[in-house]
Structure 1
Amino acid sequence: MFETCLAHEQPDHFEPLVTVQYPKLQHIRHFSGLDEAVYRNIDACKELAQTTRSAFGPHGQNKMVINHIEKLFVTNDAATIIRELEIEHPAAKMIVMATHQQEVEVGDGTNFVLVFAGSLLENAEALLKMGLSVTEVTDGYELACQKAAEMLPDLVCKNLKDLRNKAEVLKAVRTSIMSKQYGYEDFLAELIAHACISVLPQKVTFNVDNIRVCKILGAGVQQSQVINGMVFKRLVEGDVTRAEKCKIAVYTCPLDVMQTETKGTVLIKTAKELLDYSKGEEDQAEEQIQAIADAGCSVIVTGGKVGELAQHYCNKFKILIVRLSSKFDLRRLCRSVGATPLPRIVPPTVEETGYCDNVYVDEIGDTPVIVFKQDKEESAVATIVIRGSTDNIMDDIERAVDDGVNTFKALTKDGRLVPGAGATEIELAKRLSSFGESTPGLEQYAIMKFAESLEAIPRALSENAGCNMTEILSQLYAAHQEGKKSFGVDVETQDGGIHDAEEANILDLFLAKHWGMKFATAGACTVLKVDQIIMAKPAGGPKPKENKGWDED
């Protein structure tokens, strides 16, 4: 319903009420006031939040999204769903922008922003119908958000100082994977923690790009593994398939006989001259490859095609040849082995050569791969080889891995963790309700509604797990009144209930909650502050596309 309403067809309630004719433009449409602009925008955002709400948490349902090029996605990752939906409604786009900011800042928690922003707007609608002005609602929300940000550090239950401690990192990474791949969280968290710690530099910041993913069809998810180094799905060019403790020369140009810069004509009169000419070419190729072999290199990586002559001499000197067509892969490999990419075929100096403990051709499933593997625990690049029975499963595992790696990156900025499973939201809701009661003026109603909006998170978790959300909310409030501030929704037991999230190692990033609330509040307030929608359609010119958006006749 949502995709139809927002992305393709024009719903009935979007018929223009006022049409103003201007001489320069074909037509301008103008919506204003609460009924026309604000409530419509709130409806669109609620619809968007409702779509991803059922995908929230470990028991979240998958969505089947078919994008504009008819590619199929089966996922419960909110960031992917929104990216592929191509939302056209301008108000809904504002909430989408807030989720993009969360994705950039933390890399996880996009669904939290959507669900919370949708809940804020839903409660704002009730306040506006009560008679409050938009300014009073937005001021109250901003005040509540500011107060929540001040209260949040009190709820921190762990602070990771040593990111090389695998057991501690596992606790933090596990929760973000659990919401995407429930059942595989312990196995995948182990892989991600291993990969992230192995590439964690001593001084400079952690780079997400240093964790690569290679998806190979076949077997099951449990057969996935981490390789310290890089894996390429291709075969080597020559006959040599293995090299150990080898020096590596990397070239960005083709490994072939050098072409002259200008065109020239060679006049050959006898057969001897012809033989001498081709012999000269062969000698030159042999000389080049021999010089590389003499420099101690037993592996050549090239970014272009490999000529037959060069391949012949590489086989002769027992040199392994790898051809990479992507310049990005070439750069990553250079970072992984410590080599300098050379623009022309010359023997590399000691500083320009890379080093790798093992370079070999392997077969995973029925897919041939070239593996550059370092024996030591630490390496510049680590690759997670994902196995799975279908491409969709592997894509979804890759998204979970991406979230896990981003969680680790966020930990390098701020190691604080808060209880998950909705415990933090309920504790904040309880404290904000008390704060709202003591606040003078009409803003107190907005603060109370902000606190009520925070309940949307535990509500969504218990709803998706098939539990009685009213009963669970009352149990949570009772536990938090007794001072059990880390109690959250228990989605693992059969009949549902509450448990201590800290003891169960369900921990969320402090940064994810902090920025999530800020972005959701900012997005909701921006939508509420829009009191007029003016749409102009320029005269003349071809129409960009056939399918009609909501703002066309």
Structure 2
Amino acid sequence: MDGGGAASVRELPQRLWPGPGDSEQPFLRSLAAAHALAKIIRPCYGPLGLQKLLVTAKGETVLTGYATAILGALELEHPAARLLRDAALSHAEHSGDGSAFAVLLAEALLAQAERLLLAGLPRAQLREAYAAATAEALALLPALAVRALGPLEDPFWALHSAMNTHTLSDAGGLARLVAQACWEARELDGTFRPERLGVCALRGGPLDRSCLLPGLAVPGRPCGQVTAVVGGARVALFACPFGLVDPNAPATATISCPVELVRFRKGTDYVTEKQVLQLAMGAVNVAVVCGPVAERTLAQADQCGILVVQVKALRDLQGLSEALGTPVMPYLLPPRPLGRCERVFPQALGEGEGAAVVFQWDGPDTPALTLVLRAASKEGLRGAEQAVYHGIDVYAQLCQDPRLLPGAGATEMALAKALADRGAALEGPRGPALLAFAQALRSLPATLAENAGLAVSAVMADLTTAHQRGHFLVGVGARGLMDVAEEEVWDCLAAKAHALRTVVDIVLQLASVDEIVLAKPGAPLPRDPGPNPRKAQERPPSAGGQPGAASSERGAGRGQLKRAQSPRK
């Protein structure tokens, strides 16, 4: 195949469809796992995708259409599926979203790689050809960028398409609020730090009641009689219980008389008083606790004038730590340095569970702003929160690289056309590899059309014709083809380039796997024979192989995926 002429190159794509006998022994052991994982994610791809009703391992019911949340809730047994899932989640952590794109493109590239291997292409040449195709696709991306976010331009139009998901009822209003928050949180030199924007999600009320607050608001409440500090707040953060929550439990077995009980009570009172006095002597007047609060310690804090705020999540402490510049302490000791702000007070933000504690600074250069989100249901609040974080991440990327690509599958079709034209003119293994890469890219707009309820074959035929005529701004919409520029559907160039690199990297790794080796669990350690070693020797040996034994899996039927199961009743 390497030394053949143009005729042999043209014959290779016709041999990519294997016969019935060739499909019994697949070349890629990870292809079945990729198919199973993509089958779960494919219905959720795009703004018109469906949602999943998940029951996590902890028994929590989650209704979501975000591929990142779905992948995080799955319990995977196949090692290739875990590698693919980790790569998709890594890309989502970097770019804010795009895990569904990563999974679907990786599955399509592995399927095309299987056909190339069945056609006789060696694995080494497949890896080289896929790497070359990726380099050409990355080189073509800047030429497809037709819009860019200006330094003084309202970012609403760029964030709306990124946040317009099927989980939001008012994506436009929420995107406008996020655009305002990102614009006000910018530095004077135009840089943007995402940690300056906090998100406070409160259930109750409609989504249009969401607002932007100066300062940092966290869901929580004051616990004691001191409810606010209005001048010179000095804050300490604790990821531990506030005091001895249950002092009697660990010592009930050692107390044998009333005298010892009285001594124990006095000792716990002394420890409690000492802990609170250490905070007061360290100039702490606000203590934020993620954990239970003891009544006796709270009473001591009220006497010392310390405001005790209880929060539910550790991420609230992390946000406060970044904004206040103080560490999170694992025990009740005053930190160095203390977090400082002007005032700390509770604020009711509407009906329902709309209670939060606000940390505010004076002056226009406040170090933090808070997006307060309201929603009537827990699922709606979770979807709005994920969309807000995605919008913040997209704006952070646009501050680094303001170029935007056509969305709605237009970029994938433009890349597929360019790679297919290039591959049809090449000789050797790179030509069929470019054609296979282009076919994998075409599967993404086809999935958008399928999830929109359109006739996939007719839509893809019209879309291919439009791109062949040079209309590379044509994508897939709710009713068929649409002009991406008129509908203002855009993708971030930096996120798309990072996704391509991540996907091809994991595909090249999985394409080099010839078998999956599963190590058996080792034999348990021998028990202590005790006073009668003869009975211990008469015990039958435990089942299991020797430590380090391994078994090879050569078929595609073993090591399947296991979805998140509901707990047994």
| CA displacement at 1:83 relative to structure 2 | 1.4
Question: What is aligned with 2:80?
Answer: 91
- 3-state DSSP class of the match of 1:214? strand
CA distance in 2, matches of 1:344, 1:490: 56
Pair 1:379 & 2:370 matched:
no
Q: 1:41 to 1:336 in 2, by over 3 A?
A: closer
Pair 1:248 & 2:239 matched:
no
| AA at the equivalent of 1:103 | A
CA distance in 1, matches of 2:162, 2:308: 40
Pair 1:220 & 2:206 matched:
yes
| AA at the equivalent of 2:202 | I
- 3-state DSSP class of the match of 2:486? coil
Give the alignment partner of residue 45 of structure 2, picking from 56, 75, 89: 56
Give the alignment partner of residue 103 of structure 1, picking from 92, 95, 117: 92
Give the alignment partner of residue 506 of structure 2, picking from 504, 507, 523: 523
Question: What is aligned with 1:27?
Answer: none
Pair 1:449 & 2:436 matched:
yes
Pair 1:433 & 2:433 matched:
no
Instruction: Determine if contact 1:230/1:381 at 8 Å carries over to the other structure.
Output: yes
Larger mean Cα displacement after TM superposition, 475-484 or 452-461: 475-484
Larger mean Cα displacement after TM superposition, 505-514 or 43-52: 43-52
- 3-state DSSP class of the match of 2:167? coil
Question: What is aligned with 2:269?
Answer: none
Give the alignment partner of residue 403 of structure 1, picking from 390, 394, 398: 390
Instruction: Determine if contact 1:39/1:125 at 8 Å carries over to the other structure.
Output: yes
Q: 1:525 to 1:309 in 2, by over 3 A?
A: closer
CA distance in 2, matches of 1:217, 1:543: 52
Q: 1:203 to 1:327 in 2, by over 3 A?
A: farther
| CA displacement at 1:36 relative to structure 2 | 4.6
Question: What is aligned with 1:120?
Answer: 109
Question: What is aligned with 1:263?
Answer: none
Question: What is aligned with 1:536?
Answer: 519
Instruction: Determine if contact 1:249/1:339 at 8 Å carries over to the other structure.
Output: no
- 3-state DSSP class of the match of 2:44? coil
Cα shift readout 1:343-396 (whole Å, capped 9, x = no counterpart)? 9999x99x9673336734325323333223457665322222222222222222
| CA displacement at 1:537 relative to structure 2 | 1.5
Instruction: Determine if contact 2:237/2:327 at 8 Å carries over to the other structure.
Output: no
CA distance in 1, matches of 2:287, 2:79: 49
CA distance in 2, matches of 1:136, 1:144: 12
Cα shift readout 1:447-491 (whole Å, capped 9, x = no counterpart)? 111111111111111110111222222222222233222221122
Pair 1:137 & 2:126 matched:
yes
| AA at the equivalent of 2:374 | R
CA distance in 1, matches of 2:47, 2:180: 23
Cα shift readout 1:63-94 (whole Å, capped 9, x = no counterpart)? 12222222222211111111110222122223
Relative to the length of structure 1, the TM-score reads 0.74
Q: 1:107 to 1:325 in 2, by over 3 A?
A: closer
Instruction: Determine if contact 2:224/2:299 at 8 Å carries over to the other structure.
Output: no
Instruction: Determine if contact 1:180/1:400 at 8 Å carries over to the other structure.
Output: no
- 3-state DSSP class of the match of 1:186? helix
Pair 1:359 & 2:377 matched:
no
Q: 1:150 to 1:363 in 2, by over 3 A?
A: closer
Cα shift readout 1:139-176 (whole Å, capped 9, x = no counterpart)? 322221111111110001122241x64x2x22222222
Question: What is aligned with 1:15?
Answer: none
Q: 1:323 to 1:90 in 2, by over 3 A?
A: closer
| CA displacement at 1:104 relative to structure 2 | 3.3
Instruction: Determine if contact 2:106/2:503 at 8 Å carries over to the other structure.
Output: yes
Question: What is aligned with 2:452?
Answer: 465
CA distance in 1, matches of 2:511, 2:481: 35
Question: What is aligned with 1:25?
Answer: none
| AA at the equivalent of 2:177 | L
Instruction: Determine if contact 1:426/1:455 at 8 Å carries over to the other structure.
Output: yes
Question: What is aligned with 1:394?
Answer: 381
Matches within 5 A, 1:290-329: 300-301=286-287, 303=289, 307-308=298-299, 310-312=301-303, 314=305, 322=309, 329=316
Larger mean Cα displacement after TM superposition, 380-389 or 141-150: 380-389
Instruction: Determine if contact 2:301/2:308 at 8 Å carries over to the other structure.
Output: no
Instruction: Determine if contact 1:242/1:361 at 8 Å carries over to the other structure.
Output: no
Contiguous gaps of at least 5 residues in structure 1: 1-32, 257-281
Larger mean Cα displacement after TM superposition, 212-221 or 51-60: 212-221
| CA displacement at 1:328 relative to structure 2 | 6.3
CA distance in 1, matches of 2:314, 2:543: 38
Percent identity over the alignment is 27
CA distance in 2, matches of 1:237, 1:526: 53
Question: What is aligned with 1:156?
Answer: 145
CA distance in 2, matches of 1:536, 1:321: 51
Larger mean Cα displacement after TM superposition, 133-142 or 62-71: 133-142
Q: 1:379 to 1:65 in 2, by over 3 A?
A: same
Give the alignment partner of residue 159 of structure 2, picking from 166, 173, 177: 173
| CA displacement at 1:520 relative to structure 2 | 1.6
Contiguous gaps of at least 5 residues in structure 2: 1-21, 244-272, 525-541, 545-556, 561-569
CA distance in 2, matches of 1:225, 1:137: 52
| AA at the equivalent of 2:496 | K
CA distance in 1, matches of 2:384, 2:214: 19
Give the alignment partner of residue 401 of structure 2, picking from 401, 414, 427: 414
Aligned length: 472
- 3-state DSSP class of the match of 1:201? coil
CA distance in 2, matches of 1:43, 1:123: 13
Matches within 5 A, 1:454-533: 454-491=441-478, 496-533=479-516
- 3-state DSSP class of the match of 1:233? strand
Question: What is aligned with 1:201?
Answer: 187
Q: 1:364 to 1:376 in 2, by over 3 A?
A: farther
Q: 1:442 to 1:250 in 2, by over 3 A?
A: closer
- 3-state DSSP class of the match of 1:61? coil
| CA displacement at 1:539 relative to structure 2 | 4.0
Matches within 5 A, 1:336-347: 336=323
| CA displacement at 1:223 relative to structure 2 | 2.0
Relative to the length of structure 2, the TM-score reads 0.72
Instruction: Determine if contact 2:204/2:374 at 8 Å carries over to the other structure.
Output: yes
| CA displacement at 1:507 relative to structure 2 | 0.6
CA distance in 2, matches of 1:46, 1:125: 12
